[in-house]
Chain A
Amino acid sequence: MKFNVTKEKLLEGLQQVQNVVSTRTTLPILSNVLLQAKGNNVHLTTTDLDVGVRGSFEANVEKDGATTLPARRLFTIIRELPSSEVQFEVDGKNAASIRSGQSFFKILGLPEEEFPPLPKFDSAKVITIRQKDLRDGLRKTSYAISTDETRYVLNGLLFSLKDNKLTLVATDGRRLAMVDIELEFPRSHEVDIIVPTKAVTELQRLLTDDGDVKVSIGSGQIAFDLNNTLLVSKLIEGNYPNYRQVIPSEAKERVTLERETFLNSLRRVSLLASDKSNSIKLNFSKNNIDITANTPEVGEAKESLAVAYKGRDFSIAFNPEFFMAPLRALAEDEVFLDLIDEMSPGVLKIQTPFLYVLMPMRISS
Chain B
Amino acid sequence: MDENYAQLWQKLSAALKPQVSPDTFKRWFSAVKLIQATDDSLTFRVPNNIYQFWIESNHITALQTAVITAFGAPRKIRFSSASDGLDETILPEIPGKQFSGDNSRDAGQSSNALGLNPRNSFESFVVGPNNEIAHAASLAVAQSPARTYNPLFIYGGVGLGKTHLMQAIGQYVGMKKKNAKVMYLSSELFINEFIDAIQHNNLVKFRKRYRQADLLLIDDIQFLGGKERSQEEFFHTFNTLFDGHKQIVLSSDRPPSEIANLEHRLVSRFEWGLTAELQPPDVETRLAILRKKAHTLGIKLRDETFEFLATRIRTNVRRLEGALMRVASFASLSGKQLTNEVVEHLLKDILQEEARHAVTIEQIQRRVAEHYDVRLADMTSKRRPANIAFPRQIAMYLARELTKASLNEIGDAFGGRDHGTVLHACKLVKRRMQEQDNIRQTISFIDSALQR
Residues of A within 8 A of B (CB): 23-26, 47, 49-50, 52, 116-119, 149-152, 155, 172-174, 218-221, 234, 237-239, 241-243, 245-246, 248-250, 340-341, 343-344, 359, 362
Bound complex: CA of A116 vs CA of B97, how far in Å?
Answer: 11
Q: Mark B12-29, 1 if CB is under 8 A from A, else 0.
A: 000000011101100100
Counting CB contacts under 8 A, is B144 at the interface?
A: no
Which chain B residues border A174 with CB–CB below 8 Å? 57-58
- Residue of A119, A172, A219, A249 near B99 (CB, 8 A) is A119
Bound complex: CA of A245 vs CA of B58, how far in Å?
Answer: 14
Which chain A residues border B202 with CB–CB below 8 Å? 24
Q: A149-B204, A149-B207 are in contact. Are A344 and B54 (CB under 8 A)?
A: no
Interface contact A173-B56, CB-CB below 8 Å: yes
Interface contact A237-B53, CB-CB below 8 Å: no
Bound complex: CA of A49 vs CA of B96, how far in Å?
Answer: 10
Q: Closest Cβ of chain B: how far from A323's Cβ, in Å?
A: 16
- Residue of B53, B91, B196, B236 near A151 (CB, 8 A) is B53
Interface contact B95-A219, CB-CB below 8 Å: no
Given contacts A26-B196, A172-B57, A238-B91, 7 further A-B contacts (CB under 8 A): A24-B202, A47-B99, A52-B99, A150-B207, A152-B212, A344-B23, A359-B57
Bound complex: CA of A77 vs CA of B132, how far in Å?
Answer: 69
Interface contact B48-A341, CB-CB below 8 Å: no
Interface contact A362-B92, CB-CB below 8 Å: no
Interface contact B102-A219, CB-CB below 8 Å: yes
Which chain B residues border A249 with CB–CB below 8 Å? 23
Bound complex: CA of A237 vs CA of B90, how far in Å?
Answer: 11
Q: A220-B95, A340-B21 are in contact. Are A245 and B57 (CB under 8 A)?
A: no
Residue in chain A with minimal CB distance to B211: A150
Interface residues of B in 49-76 (CB under 8 A from A): 49-51, 53-54, 56-58, 61
- Residue of B56, B103, B196 near A219 (CB, 8 A) is B103
Which chain A residues border B20 with CB–CB below 8 Å? 343
A-B contact count (CB 8 A): 95
Interface contact B95-A241, CB-CB below 8 Å: no
Interface contact A24-B200, CB-CB below 8 Å: yes
Q: A150-B211, A340-B21 are in contact. Are A173 and B54 (CB under 8 A)?
A: yes
Counting CB contacts under 8 A, is B89 at the interface?
A: yes
Interface contact A241-B50, CB-CB below 8 Å: yes
Bound complex: CA of A173 vs CA of B89, how far in Å?
Answer: 22
Sample of 16 A–B contacts (CB below 8 Å): A119-B100, A149-B204, A150-B240, A151-B53, A152-B204, A173-B53, A173-B56, A220-B95, A237-B91, A237-B92, A237-B95, A238-B91, A239-B49, A242-B48, A250-B23, A343-B21
Q: Closest Cβ of chain B: how far from A233's Cβ, in Å?
A: 9
Most A CB within 10 A of own CB, among B97, B98, B99, B201: B99
Bound complex: CA of A343 vs CA of B59, how far in Å?
Answer: 10
Q: Closest Cβ of chain B: how far from A26's Cβ, in Å?
A: 6
- Residue of A116, A243, A248, A250 near B50 (CB, 8 A) is A243
Counting CB contacts under 8 A, is B318 at the interface?
A: no
Q: Which 10 A-B pairs have the closest CB atoms?
A: A173-B57, A241-B50, A24-B200, A221-B101, A343-B21, A344-B21, A237-B92, A116-B99, A242-B50, A49-B99
- Residue of A341, A344, A362 near B61 (CB, 8 A) is A362
Interface contact B92-A173, CB-CB below 8 Å: no
Interface contact A119-B53, CB-CB below 8 Å: no
Which chain B residues border A24 with CB–CB below 8 Å? 200-202
Q: Closest Cβ of chain A: how far from B139's Cβ, in Å?
A: 31
Counting CB contacts under 8 A, is B203 at the interface?
A: yes
Q: Closest Cβ of chain B: how far from A191's Cβ, in Å?
A: 15
Q: A173-B53, A248-B23 are in contact. Are A49 and B98 (CB under 8 A)?
A: yes
Interface contact A117-B99, CB-CB below 8 Å: yes
Bound complex: CA of A151 vs CA of B423, how far in Å?
Answer: 60
Q: Closest Cβ of chain B: how far from A355's Cβ, in Å?
A: 16
- Residue of B21, B91, B100, B102 near A341 (CB, 8 A) is B21
Q: Closest Cβ of chain B: how far from A12's Cβ, in Å?
A: 25
Which chain B residues border A221 with CB–CB below 8 Å? 101
Which chain A residues border B404 with CB–CB below 8 Å? none
Q: A149-B208, A220-B101 are in contact. Are A245 and B54 (CB under 8 A)?
A: yes
Which chain B residues border A248 with CB–CB below 8 Å? 23, 27
Contact residues on B (Cβ < 8 Å of other chain), bracket: 35 or more
Bound complex: CA of A7 vs CA of B101, how far in Å?
Answer: 35
Residue in chain B with minimal CB distance to A340: B23
Which chain B residues border A118 with CB–CB below 8 Å? 99
Interface contact A173-B58, CB-CB below 8 Å: yes
Which chain B residues border A239 with CB–CB below 8 Å? 49, 89
Q: Closest Cβ of chain B: how far from A243's Cβ, in Å?
A: 7
Bound complex: CA of A246 vs CA of B55, how far in Å?
Answer: 11
Q: A149-B203, A239-B49, A343-B21 are in contact. Are A245 and B27 (CB under 8 A)?
A: yes
Q: Mark B286-323, 1 if CB is under 8 A from A, else 0.
A: 00000000000000000000000000000000000000
Bound complex: CA of A49 vs CA of B92, how far in Å?
Answer: 18
Interface contact A246-B24, CB-CB below 8 Å: no
Bound complex: CA of A172 vs CA of B24, how far in Å?
Answer: 18
Residue in chain A with minimal CB distance to B236: A150
Which chain B residues border A116 with CB–CB below 8 Å? 98-99
Bound complex: CA of A118 vs CA of B102, how far in Å?
Answer: 12
Residue in chain B with minimal CB distance to A362: B61
Interface contact B102-A119, CB-CB below 8 Å: yes
Bound complex: CA of A149 vs CA of B48, how far in Å?
Answer: 20
Q: Closest Cβ of chain A: how far from B224's Cβ, in Å?
A: 21
Q: Closest Cβ of chain B: how far from A115's Cβ, in Å?
A: 10
Which chain A residues border B207 with CB–CB below 8 Å? 149-150
Residue in chain B with minimal CB distance to A241: B50
- Residue of A50, A241, A343 near B24 (CB, 8 A) is A343
Interface contact A246-B50, CB-CB below 8 Å: yes
Bound complex: CA of A116 vs CA of B96, how far in Å?
Answer: 13
Bound complex: CA of A332 vs CA of B304, how far in Å?
Answer: 93
Which chain A residues border B204 with CB–CB below 8 Å? 149, 152, 155
Interface contact B200-A25, CB-CB below 8 Å: yes
Residue in chain A with minimal CB distance to B208: A152
Bound complex: CA of A56 vs CA of B379, how far in Å?
Answer: 83
Bound complex: CA of A291 vs CA of B236, how far in Å?
Answer: 39
Q: A152-B208, A220-B101, A248-B23 are in contact. Are A241 and B91 (CB under 8 A)?
A: no
Which chain A residues border B212 with CB–CB below 8 Å? 152
- Residue of B61, B97, B200 near A49 (CB, 8 A) is B97
Residue in chain A with minimal CB distance to B26: A249
Bound complex: CA of A218 vs CA of B201, how far in Å?
Answer: 29
Q: Closest Cβ of chain A: how far from B282's Cβ, in Å?
A: 47
Q: Mark B24-36, 1 if CB is under 8 A from A, else 0.
A: 1001000000000
Bound complex: CA of A175 vs CA of B53, how far in Å?
Answer: 12
Bound complex: CA of A173 vs CA of B50, how far in Å?
Answer: 9
Residue in chain B with minimal CB distance to A22: B200
Bound complex: CA of A129 vs CA of B69, how far in Å?
Answer: 54
Bound complex: CA of A250 vs CA of B421, how far in Å?
Answer: 84
Interface contact A234-B21, CB-CB below 8 Å: no
Most A CB within 10 A of own CB, among B19, B92, B102, B196: B102
Q: Closest Cβ of chain A: how far from B253's Cβ, in Å?
A: 31
Q: A173-B57, A362-B61 are in contact. Are A23 and B201 (CB under 8 A)?
A: yes
